Amino acid sequence: MNEKLESVELSVVVLCYHSENIIETFVQQLLNEIQELNISYELILVANFDKNSTDSTPQKAKAIASVQPHVKVIADEKEGGMGWDMRSGLSMASGTYIAVIDGDAQMPASDIPIVYGVIKFGKYDLVKTYRAKRYDGFIRTMLSAIYNFLFRLLFSPRFPIRDINSKPKIFTNAAYKRLELRSNDWFTDAEIMIQALKLKLKIAEISTVFYQNERKTSFVGLKTVFEFIFNLFKYRFNQSKENKP
């Protein structure tokens, strides 16, 4: 007789792109936090890489998985940006609750048990953080304020999402399956929230601290800024067309 497979309560997708300097420490922090919950879980390390890259994250992620039975790794040559990475990781998740967090330790690992507790016992569909304190510099803070102002103006005047790009985000598996994520770039966080609002999911936001990234260069450049704003207006225009009788 086949032994019944244990169901997974919590899946945590960790976006590890170019996190070779912190991945081992951060994964251990996550494991320490999740193990305290005394639940079944899996950690999915998304270590996708660019062609001809010297990034050692895939090798380090695989080394972690070789000694940690609850850790899985996806390490493929990249076919897109952050959104593509996130979707590839989420597609592997099987938990009743699915969380996603960046692997650079700017968001503390201790946020994971907090958002898990809120979504489980508050009976929400989606729970996310907002960065109440930020230590990543004036320019990034101002850009985030512009993004969030435009998002509220275009999509959520009645439900003021404080910080669309903040992680961790956690959804029920049922809510995740209702999302139709297509974005391959930095717009994925906004896409999640736009669809969550459209589907009238029950959403909660909790505060977090956003630390300075001292281990790698930010991948948010001028091109990313214009791309993000363009996508906001494009998505809003497409929604308006869909809503026309």
Could you state, in chain order, the average pLDDT of each consecutive group of 10 residues for the chain (245 residues)? 67 96 96 97 97 93 97 96 95 97 93 98 96 84 86 79 93 97 91 93 94 61 74 77 58
Are 30 and 62 in contact by the 8 Å Cβ rule? The answer is: no
Contacts of 242 (CB under 8 A, 6+ apart): none
Residue in this structure with the two tokens 């989606």, named with its chain if needed: 126
Q: Estimate to the nearest angstrom the gap between the alpha carbon of 202 and the chain centroid.
A: 18
pTM of the model: 0.88
Helix (H) or strand (E) holding 43: strand 41-46
What are 173-191's pLDDT values in tens digits? 999 999 999 999 889 999 9
Write down all domains in the chain, each with its CATH number in brackets. 10-243 (3.90.550.10)
